[in-house]
Amino acid sequence: MAGHIPGALNLPYTENLDAQGRFKAPEALRALYQAFLAGTPPDHLVVHCGSGVTACHTLLALDLAGLPGAALYVGSWSEWCRNPTSRS
């Protein structure tokens, strides 16, 4: 088992969507992420998912919310779990 990426928090990308499957309004996204981040500036975030694909969805949501600056961990969980040195 690869464990947990230290400091990682989980907010599924589907939380960015309304009932019709479209991005929520920028104001709603901003409120969602400000509450979730609890004061952490967006430029201190590294977003990841299983393979780096849906994390891009979150980066777009952050930008729409007026909270740009987060980075993408391109390798995401797929890379993390196969690299034993990342877990030490």
Q: Which residues are catalytic?
A: 49
How distant is the alpha carbon of residue 29 from its chain centre?
13
Contact (Cβ atoms closer than 8 angstroms) between residue 55 and residue 73: yes
Q: Are 42 and 67 in contact (CB under 8 A)?
A: yes
